[in-house]
Amino acid sequence: MRYISTRAAQAPAAEGRRFCEILLEGLAPDGGLYLPAFYPQVNDSMLDAWRGVYHAQGYAALAYEVLSLYIDDIPAADLRALCEKTYTAEVFGSAAIVPLRRLDDGLWIEALSNGPTLAFKDMAMQLLGNLFEYELARRGEELNIFGATSGDTGSAAEYAMRGKKGVRVFMTSPQGRMSPFQQAQMFSLMDANIVNIAVKGVFDDCQDLVKAVSGDLDFKRKYRIGTVNSINWARLLAQVVYYFAGYIQATGSNREKVSFSVPSGNFGNVCAGHVARMMGLPIHQLVVATNENDVLDEFFRTGVYRVRTSADTHETSSPSMDISKASNFERFVFDLLGRDGARTRGLFVDALQRGGCFDLGPDPLFSQVASRYGFVSGRSTHADRLETIRTAWRNYGVMIDTHTADGLKVALERRVAGVAMVVLETALPIKFAATVMEALGREPERPARFDGIEALPKRVREMDADVAAVKALIAAECGY
């Protein structure tokens, strides 16, 4: 399999890069995002075989089947071993890894949040940690991951990379802005290769630091600075697997269709659903659920993609979806435009830089968004979240977090008779306990392994938003 950029003038498949070449990279050199040159097709008999694989051998074996269609530069036995090492009942809490929980006839929640940090990002990040360690050892190289987080991404990255050979993580976060639970999760890690940096400032100050350090190309090269953000193709690919696992669990035969409702921010999660659908998985609709930061809902309703200013980006009670633009969205637009890289570049470079906006509404292709690609959308507010958390608890006896509530709210609006609806659970309620408390008047359950983590010793450096000081810290930790 070769990978091409969404901004390549023409798609010269044969000249594309291979999986391990793009594994450690972010954007393509032309500023686009990597996509496979084509989507391998899973026909009826293959899907039957995969059904058997998931039931008889489990999630790791299914992951190997999906991944091996996209990765041909890691020997099969090694790839299988990486999947088996990643997706274990010990790490993900059950043998099913992503069990479905029934709410009602044809209404399910797919549990993606029982990994080490209790958010779905573990599903991809845990695999990424093992892939990085494998590839870095093979090359005899090191990597220093330097990132900024306001919560879920940073902790998922740290729990995936802790103790991994060849990798260090330097993670900045705005001092005092994360929930006590999130701070405890990250700062209680004592692994030598994990460095937490609490920056005196807000999240944007952290992101500016990352940009400044990555923008110093000499420094970046010398210290091999990399990232693990959601545009990484390997992360997206890992997420494709649980759409297959969800489908297989919700159905008895391949004649049935299933819809997925996906709490969305950067469009990484639901883009993996798009890939699964393009591979031929019988998905009826992909329901994009946003919170008040509704840049995606606006696009799917009107064709207008309008990047928000920071003044126009709201702090909500589903904070992991508080985005001003959706960094993976360019991948879908590339497919929608018939893989026209020049036109995609035009929209994302020219149009966005000129006005922060483009409008595909008048284009006949836009009508295919629903009819051909299955996308529909909806949004919710804080009041909707509270109401949906109460509904789930009262009617179904299930406690859900604020992000999953956004997904369930829109799922209930989009349900159709005869098609199962699977809501992706993107975090456990304990991570966003204050809002769940507001809705239900009771504390969410806390998995036993997190008892008392707020009281554990913390390892974190407090620093000003000072580029030189951060560079000095990285250099000192690397010792060269």
Residues marked active site are found at 121
Cβ proximity to ligand PLP, 332 vs 358, nearer residue = 332
Report the nearest approach of ligand PLP to the CB of residue 404 (Å): 8
Amino acid at 449: R
- Supply the DSSP string of 106-160, one letter for each residue: TEEEEE---STTSBTHHHHHHHHHHHHHHHHHHHT--EEEEEE-SSHHHHHHHHH
Say whether residue 294 binds ligand PLP (CB under 6 A): no
Cβ proximity to ligand PLP, 152 vs 335, nearer residue = 152
CA distances to 20, 155, 194, 206 from 450, rounded to whole Å, are 35, 14, 19, 27
Cβ proximity to ligand PLP, 108 vs 267, nearer residue = 267
Report the nearest approach of ligand PLP to the CB of residue 265 (Å): 4
CA 129, CA 343: separation in Å to the nearest integer?
35
Pick the piece of the chain touching ligand PLP (CB under 6 A) from 49-57, 158-166, 176-184, 261-269: 261-269
Q: What is the DSSP letter of 167?
A: E
Tokens of 448: 């036993």
Within positions 386 to 425, which residues make up the interface with ligand PLP, using CB under 6 A? 403
Q: Exactly one of 32, 58, 106, 268 binds ligand PLP (CB under 6 A); which one?
A: 268
Say whether residue 147 binds ligand PLP (CB under 6 A): no
Find out whether 403 and 152 touch, Cβ atoms under 8 Å.
no
Cβ proximity to ligand PLP, 106 vs 374, nearer residue = 374
Say whether residue 269 binds ligand PLP (CB under 6 A): yes
Is 451 in a helix, a strand, or coil? Answer: coil
- Tokens 């004592």 locate to 190
CA 460, CA 476: separation in Å to the nearest integer?
16
CA-based nearest residue to 428, from 456, 449, 459, 458: 449
Q: Exactly one of 107, 109, 237, 321 binds ligand PLP (CB under 6 A); which one?
A: 321
Say whether residue 444 binds ligand PLP (CB under 6 A): no
Q: Exactly one of 175, 227, 230, 259 binds ligand PLP (CB under 6 A); which one?
A: 230
Site string for ligand PLP, 148-187 (x = CB under 6 A): ----x-----------------------------------
**Footprint of ligand PLP (CB under 6 A):** 119, 121, 152, 230, 263-269, 320-321, 403, 426-427
